Amino acid sequence: MKAFQVIRYGKKEKLVLSEIQEPIPKDNEVLVQVHASAINLLDSLIKNGDFKLFLPYKTPFTNGHDLAGIITKVGANVTQFKVGDEVYARPSDFHIGTFAQSIVVNQNDLAMKPKNITMEEAASIPLVGLTSWQALVEISNLKKGQKVFIQAGSGGVGTFAIQLAKHLGAFVATTTSETNVEMVKGLGADLVIDYKKEDFTTLLKDYDVVLHSNRENTILKKSLSILKHGGVLVSLTGPPTADFAKKIGMGWHFQILMKLLSFSVNQLAKKLKVHFEFLFMKADGKQLSEITKLIEAGKIKPMIDRVYTFEETNEAMLYVEAGRSKGKVVVKMI
């Protein structure tokens, strides 16, 4: 089968279209024929080698973190799914590889594809949907009437998180450029800030939750300052913390390193009487099944910017890396 692989780490390196052997599912796995995948910035960061410290993939390996497709084989102990089921998933770390014609996925990472959307739309959901769920529901416990600031509202995570936050009953503020204001308002954002013209710290105060995704250190510190006492900032861009290192099973020396990396941010959070947490989302089929219910109920709709062919995967990666996509970018296999 064909797959786009990382042969060498590096920012200038491209994925290489390779011919590899079709994988065989183990007892708790299924083989999925991939109909569509989605491009995430994470795919580029993995390729570049930015996450080698805690995700040391050995080259060559197949890239890709989102999929929608049809099960073609099931392992001996699989009870939740059968051949022919339409499914979607974000495979767990060290089991990625959705830029391929087929992939094996643990049954615990899978969910049934929402019946009311296409394969391409379904492929756009898992990573951003699980990221939003884990940030707003699992960590922040966002409640009706609370205020949440979601950065980069027109991006992949932003477009999903806004809709989820509104479903939970929160007041939502977000940032975007002028050209995307109407789009994010249409998703439910109550207050939209043009980040090119306005400083969000002058407009926002006493927020309960911040979903932080900006890579500038100054933005992180500003974001902490708009929280009320006891508020929580969930960061998707870091710095990673000692708790995170411990959670994923890293050794004590890495835990100390992460503690040093996040020391100044944690000190500022402590001074402001708020909580800082780094999130690197995890695969979770049960949470994805809850997201399926919301999509089938019409509470959340996928937002797709562009669809590329499988052969155009590298072009799709470049488009996402440029940082101008509105919603998700999808690769169509079939």
Confidence (pTM): 0.97
Burial class (CB in 10 A: 0-12, 13-18, 19+), 294: middle
Domain 127-278 architecture: 3-Layer(aba) Sandwich (3.40)
Mind listing the pLDDT tens digit of every residue in the chain (334 residues)?
999 999 999 999 999 999 999 999 999 999 999 999 999 999 999 999 999 988 999 999 999 999 999 999 999 999 999 999 999 999 999 999 999 999 999 999 999 999 999 999 999 999 999 999 999 999 999 999 999 999 999 999 999 999 999 999 999 999 999 999 999 999 999 999 999 999 999 999 999 999 999 988 899 999 999 999 999 999 999 899 999 999 888 889 889 999 999 999 999 999 999 999 999 999 999 999 999 999 999 999 999 999 999 999 999 999 999 988 999 999 999 8
Domain boundaries, the chain: 2-125+302-332, 127-278
What secondary structure letter does DSSP report for 100?
B
Please tell me if the domain spanning 2-125+302-332 has the same topology as the one spanning 127-278.
Answer: no
| Structural contact between residues 37 and 118, judged by C-beta atoms closer than 8 angstroms | no
- Per the listing, tokens 């992180």 go with 220
Rounded CA-CA distance 288/68 in Å is 12
Architecture of the domain whose range is 2-125+302-332: Alpha-Beta Complex (3.90)
